[in-house]
Structure 1
């Protein structure tokens, strides 16, 4: 896919491509490419549709865009049409969805979708859309669906067989724990990320928050505070095949020049009391 467009950042909104791409994780699948970068989840897809009201109607239905939302023009991408939708997740958190449509020939539309629960960073959005269109995202950001290891703030952690990607920057090792993370250029965004994730979890209807406290942990060699939640899923244990109680840690730390927002979780039957399962132990320990 090669599309040509003009792109200009607003004055003062310089973007360091090396920094951004070092914070990015991409996975290519058949028909879709996924990314995670600084709190944004991003996808790229292609659809058979005309670049007109009829085609837009088809796209709106596909991506659950309200019929009342009209496409707008982004001055950075004159050929594109953009849909912006919002969803209230909690009293504090509103999720933004930005859907870019680009014509590709007479009967095809390239869709680039960005989603975030953080305050929008429009300079980052435009930079990343431009990078997708110009095929300038380096191969180093991509991994295969087979997980041999994960890279956090520049450190590669080798994992054994059996782990898999739940999504970009989100890995699960059955019975050994799960973690998702984002890497940022500043600590405020990292804090905003974990605050949003913890607030969304606490408000979910699929379970009940049992306990919440703050504890000291060592995360990638740095002592910091973690918010710890004990969360009971409504799914019965007999269906789960084990415990339905999750222990979740929300952590922000400066690691090797990056600000990492990380959510680590495990079921309470996966460990001995006051310990961590193997995946979580790779990057974190509980302070004695």
Structure 2
């Protein structure tokens, strides 16, 4: 009876581990550009690339310089990472309110090459998520369906396939731009609070940039993916050298909507934007934004 109970417990623990990993994979999006892979999940932006040498190679100093890692930066190991590796944690001040937290893992894979994985976010370090992602990346076990194609005619938007104009392109993972038709970026999160935090941080980063002036900042009623909700609408004007450069293209103001909502059982953070000289339809939005949102007057 005791052995049977232990077997049942082992099955339950294995099922929980599998569920947790599947939940992570449901939120993960990957984009590969040449030798670098970009990952988007929760409040993290992650990159990885492979260096054709092991951890003992003196040329690692070249990589440290590339990532602005100094000799004084503390190098340690994460006991939950089952590979030979070097772990480095750094923080960079973005503004009085924001600190960028970076984790670097230099991991030796089974081919004796070094996989460099960088985690970056504006909230707090989630060591459990980092451990799971390191394992997935080093073992190369992320399913193909989590990868987005570089050439896009459609996107997987929180479980819904959206057709795009053939002029659209990625500017980052989960960030699509369609000239004169709008731009949006999004991320999937473990809960709604995480999604809202991601939006708050994006807005704070925008407000720290030089040459901008916020001329409108209010909550507005919208319908996002068929769900009535509220979005923060921000209109940005530009001044100084930034204004002169934009004036050449006819851009004067940028309108941005920040939305966090539970969509199809996905906690989604989305930022949608367009310029004053984009092709704005009778809805008050350009074509790309019309695909996911309506303004309630």
TM-score, normalization by structure 2: 0.86
Alignment of 1:197 with 2:205, yes or no, is no
What is residue 130 of structure 2 aligned with on the other side? 125
Give the SS at the match of 2:124: coil
Q: Give the count of matched residue pairs.
A: 278
Q: Distance in 2 between matches of 1:107 and 1:136?
A: 18
Contact 2:281 / 2:287 at 8 angstroms: preserved in 1?
no
TM-superposed CA distance for 1:124, in Å, is 0.9
The aligned residue for residue 226 of structure 2 is 221
Task: Report whether the alignment pairs 1:284 with 2:293.
Answer: yes
- Note if contact 2:153-2:165 (Cα within 8 Å) is conserved in structure 1: yes
User: 2:273 is matched with which residue?
Assistant: 265
**Which of these residues, 162, 168, 184, is aligned with residue 189 of structure 2?**
184
Return structure 1 stretches of 4+ with deviation > 6 angstroms: 12-15
Which residue number corresponds to residue 71 of structure 1?
A: 75
The separation in 1 between residues aligned to 2:236 and 2:249, in whole angstroms, is 17
Pick the aligned partner of 2:31 from 27, 30, 41: 27
Q: Which runs of 5+ in 1 are unaligned?
A: 1-8
Distance in 1, Cα, partners of 2:138 & 2:172: 22
Q: Does 1:244 align with 2:248?
A: no
| Cα deviation code 1:81-107 (max 9, x no counterpart) | 011111122222211111110235898
Which residue in the other structure is 1:94 paired with? 99
Q: CA deviation at 1:120?
A: 2.1
SS in 1 for 2:77: strand
Match of 1:3 in 2: none
- Helix, strand or coil at the partner of 2:84: strand
Give the Cα–Cα distance (whole angstroms) in 2 for the partners of residues 190 and 106 of structure 1.
37
Q: Which residue of 2 aligns with 1:140?
A: 145
Q: Find the aligned partners of 2:20 and 2:116 in 1 and give their Cα distance.
A: 25
Q: What is the TM-score of this pair, normalised by structure 1?
A: 0.89
- Matches of 2:211 and 2:92, distance apart in 1: 18
Q: Give the secondary structure class of the aligned counterpart of 1:156.
A: strand
Per the alignment, residue 210 of structure 1 pairs with 215
In 1, Cα distance between equivalents of 2:230 and 2:32: 35
Q: C-alpha root-mean-square deviation of aligned residues, in Å?
A: 2.4
Contact kept? 1:15, 1:124, Cα under 8 Å: no
Residues 237 and 244 of structure 1 are in contact (CA less than 8 Å); yes or no, is this contact kept in structure 2?
A: no
Contact 2:55 2:85 (8 Å CA) reproduced: no
